[in-house]
Copies of this chain bind each other. A is one copy, B any other.
Amino acid sequence: MSTRLKETFNGSAPGAPATAGAASGTPATTGAASDAARRPQPDPTPPAPAALAAKVRTLAPSMTRSMQRVAETVAADPAGCAALTVTGLAERTGTSEATVVRTSRLLGYPGYRDLRLALAALAAQQATGRAPAVTADIAVDDSLTDVVAKLAQEEQQCLADTAAALDTTQLEAAVAALAGARRIDVYGIGASSLVGQDLAQKLLRIGLIAHAHSDPHLAVTNAVQMRAGDVAVAITHSGRTTDVIEPLRVAFDRGATTIAVTGRPDGEIASYADHILTTSTARESELRPAAMSSRTSQLLVVDCLFVGVAQRTYETAAPALSASYEALAHRHAPRPR
């Protein structure tokens, strides 16, 4: 059958011998025209996406021995072959460049370049497909690559859980209280102390009077000063950290509005909280103590509080934000490069 294409692909009819440049652009002779006309489809298949192995099997019978070698090599190790040039692949399969190109054509690509691209794509698909859920606990002998993947995965899950479980009504109330507060105290101990400082830093940045306390004694001392119109925020994952509950109780008794950010909305701390924001907890393992996921979760809640407050005090918050940015500029070395 004439389908046995004359190696040449574009309409360079044998009519014009040698013929340098003219080939592509020239409208051409009758011979070329009819050739083009009779070239309905070089190959009915569009650049195959990922069903390459199947295609190789289908087409194998119509291939010559050398071409089969190329096709099989390619199907067996897409990733490896994608890294090779024509010459490289020719060598690896013990054939010539011409054969590689011919194989590429037979498989439905315009040339080797495109086969190579498809190979890279295929390799990527295989790679992602082969990476199933990494839900397993982090083990002592996990590679660092695994550790990174698992940690990222777990924290992402934690964020999703927290967002889904967060009570918008409570959040709304908490934001309103913060936005109108005369002064804000934040209580947190240990890991939660950092979250508290983060909140206080952010609120300060938009012009609110906020202070984070991690010293239980000082916290209580300060709490005594609180009164109606003030807001106290307590952050504790367990919901029963006495050193944090105590100042919140004091502030509550003094008439301040109290907010609890906790993973145990039924804990003792709930008794003294006007608004409760629940953080979620991920499974924890030996190497991944609760502190990690609770922190992630708490920070998301804190960010939500901050953005909410910033929205409601936009008139003052926006200028304050850019001002604090400007003020820090000179603490940085001159632009590199």
A210 touches B (CB below 8 Å): no
Shortest CB–CB separation between residue A173 and chain B, in angstroms?
Answer: 10
Q: Which of B120, B127, B149, B168 is the one whose CB lies under 8 Å from A148?
A: B168
Contact, CB under 8 Å: B286 / A175: no
* Residues of the B chain whose Cβ atoms lie less than 8 Å from the Cβ of A171: 144, 148
Q: Which of B141, B291, B307, B333 is the one whose CB lies under 8 Å from A24?
A: B333
Complex CA distance for A145 and B11, rounded to whole angstroms: 28
User: 0/1 per residue, A185-221, Cβ < 8 Å to B?
Assistant: 0000111001001100110000000000000000000
Complex CA distance for A112 and B296, rounded to whole angstroms: 39
* Residues of the B chain whose Cβ atoms lie less than 8 Å from the Cβ of A50: 124
Complex CA distance for A151 and B172, rounded to whole angstroms: 16
Q: Which of B23, B117, B289, B328 is the one whose CB lies under 8 Å from A117?
A: B117
Among A29-37, A96-104, A159-167, which stretch is in contact with chain B? A159-167
Among A68-76, A87-95, A227-235, A308-316, which stretch is in contact with chain B? A308-316
Q: SS class of chain A's interface: helix, strand, loop or mixed?
A: helix
* Residues of the B chain whose Cβ atoms lie less than 8 Å from the Cβ of A122: 124
Closest to A163 in B: B152
User: 5 new A-B pairs (CB below 8 Å) besides A49-B124, A240-B335, A241-B332?
Assistant: A11-B337, A151-B163, A151-B300, A242-B331, A243-B331
A interface residues (Cβ-Cβ under 8 A, vs B): 11, 19-20, 23-24, 49-50, 62, 82, 116-118, 120-125, 127-129, 138, 140-142, 144-145, 147-149, 151-152, 155-156, 159-160, 162-163, 166, 168, 171-172, 175, 189-191, 194, 197-198, 201-202, 238-243, 245, 264, 266-268, 286-289, 291-292, 295-296, 299-300, 303-304, 307-308, 310-311, 314, 318, 321, 325, 328, 331-337
